[in-house]
Chain A
Amino acid sequence: MEKVLSIQGISKKYGRIQAVDCLFIEIQKGQIFGLLGPNGSGKTTTLSILLDLVRNDAGNFEWFGKPPSKESRKRIGSVIESPNFFPYLSAVKNLKIVADIKDKPYDDIEEVLQITDLYDRRNDRFRTYSFGMKQRLAVASALLGSPDVLILDEPTNGLDPQGIAQIRDLIKRVAEKGITIILASHLLDEVQKICSHVAVLNKGKKLFDGEVRDVLAVSELLEIASTDMVQLQKAISMHPDFTSIIRSEDKWLVYFKDQIRPAEINEFLYKQGIVLTHLSERKRTLEQHFLELLRDNS
């Protein structure tokens, strides 16, 4: 597989706050890679470092197997935070400036404006656009000149439901062309719907990464209790599908990799001489799961 991005231990400190903490990430060609984390987890800082907006204190990274340069950035289309354009210029003129910087011809401008549904307003000044249109122009600008990589930082932030649907639909259509996409989001649901791979960030650290179906899979959760809680913890950790355990008041919350039958667990523990005083199955929402991932590792 072709490596698009390789991040080797980058760190960034803002005063006393460690925004990015020794981050390692590898992204392969064709992946739709989600950077998932709450606000302030270092997603935007990481992307800013990758695009030469922010200087990292330590570590380094490579785009397309080479040290970062303006040439590598010309192959990347980015939507970073708010849409940044000259307010007094029309969409077409703003995009011409982008094409000039990227050394790309103007031929694509019409197409990207049509894809983003801005073609009818192409000659209006940027300042007359609604927020949704501004955001779509940012996407249009990112798509200009057929980039190899698309970076989207919270692309649906602040949009109304219709705008969110439009942007997500757009991302899916772009992804079908085989462009590598890096999507930063604090919305688990968004990453789950769109991405193939994900890295979960919190306080600048990477907690997990891997395929979305592995990392964000809804593992099974059981609530158990016994008279001897310590021995129970020891016994249950021996189970082949066991992943993790959390104390919740007078019960253990136990996570398993696969679908678990409570009866099987009961039998497994009974064989080790433990009699359960409590056993119940709990279904979690994705959101809960995400919050638990963050909490366990903070």
Chain B
Amino acid sequence: MVRLLKIELKKILTYKVFWILMGLYFLFLLLGILMAGFTINNWIDNLNKHSPIPFPHVTIYFFPDIWQNIAFFASIRYILILPSIVIIILITNEFTNKTIRQNIVNGMSRPEFLLSKLQLIFIISLLITFILILGTLILGMANTSGYDMTIMFAKISFAGGFFIQLFSFLVFAFFTGFLLRNTGLSIAIFTLYALIIEPVLYFILKIPKLQPNNISQFLPVNSVIRVVEYPYFPVLRKLTGLNVQEHLSLLDCAVPLIYAIVMVGIVYWVLSRKDL
């Protein structure tokens, strides 16, 4: 296990593309999170122009709701797409450089190759989640006055939800890259599907008369997005009457993980049968 992880880390530690894209991801993440509060209050300002009673500004960076709010903004599909591109590059590199062949020839078994990549995805997801937790703590402490430990960590489970989102989304990306083997094609198809095709499909399926059972929520990318829903703003809740998520739902967490397991199963099946 440690041997495989050591090998994977050697492959990425001095890989510039990896660090540039990860840096870009954290920049987008930071901007997204910081812009979110500003954007919402801007929206409230616009609303107040037409409203006789002015709505107060909100802050999304207070404990314990910050856990959900940050997890939500961090898992917007436009931001998730960046680390998934990194994963696609890492797996398709193995095919374009033919290093997968060399690894097998040198004495790595095919299941070990799959395991090494899954380990890497797991560790990357864990690290990003850890950084997110750290950032959330700092931002929360700076914006919440008078909190105690119970309030502070009350909704930390949403960070776990974010981990499930990230991990399964990255497995989807790995799946795409593994099957297509070509870097450019994989990135194009994955991005197109996640950002355009699935949202369109989602709205078509959502038309009630066409689809009474609300099957649209089980589309793969949407199942990931659903894990952490719209953030909890007490004011906005009253304002819009939206049904707000209070806890992670077990079913919502299970669906993307089931997708991930099926995809890993398919990769395993293909890998153990196909010529490299």
Asked if A and B bind, the verdict is yes
Q: Which residues of A does B touch, CB under 8 Å?
A: 48, 51-55, 69-71, 73-74, 76, 78, 80, 82, 84-89, 93, 96-98, 100-103, 141
Chain A min CB distance to B46 (Å): 48
Contacts of A55 in B (CB 8 A): 273-275
Q: A48-B275, A78-B105 are in contact. List 17 more A-B contacts (CB 8 A).
A: A53-B101, A54-B276, A55-B273, A70-B112, A74-B106, A82-B98, A84-B102, A86-B93, A88-B15, A88-B16, A89-B10, A96-B10, A100-B3, A101-B7, A101-B103, A101-B106, A141-B102
| Interface positions of B from 64 to 110, Cβ below 8 Å from A | 93, 97-99, 101-110
A82–B105 alpha-carbon span in the complex (Å): 13
When C-beta atoms are compared, the residue in chain B nearest to A83 turns out to be B102
Complex Cα–Cα for A104 and B61 (A): 51
The total of interchain contacts (Cβ-Cβ below 8 angstroms) comes to 81
In the complex, which residues of chain B have a beta carbon less than 8 angstroms from the beta carbon of A80? 101-102, 105
Q: List 27 A-B contacts (CB under 8 A).
A: A53-B105, A53-B276, A54-B275, A55-B274, A70-B108, A70-B109, A71-B107, A73-B104, A73-B107, A74-B106, A74-B107, A78-B105, A80-B101, A80-B105, A84-B97, A84-B98, A84-B99, A84-B101, A84-B102, A86-B15, A86-B99, A88-B16, A89-B11, A97-B10, A100-B7, A101-B103, A102-B106
Q: Is there a chain A Cβ closer than 8 Å to B247's Cβ?
A: no
B86 to nearest A CB, angstroms?
14
Interface of B is mostly: helix
Seen from chain B, the residues whose Cβ lies within 8 Å of a Cβ on chain A are 3, 6-7, 10-11, 14-17, 93, 97-99, 101-110, 112, 273-276
Residues of B within 8 A of A86 (CB): 11, 15, 93, 97, 99
In this complex, the member of A73, A78, A97, A98 whose beta carbon has the largest number of chain B beta carbons within 10 angstroms is A97
Sort A-B residue pairs by CB-CB distance and give the 9 closest, nearest first: A74-B107, A84-B98, A73-B107, A84-B102, A70-B109, A54-B275, A101-B106, A51-B105, A53-B276
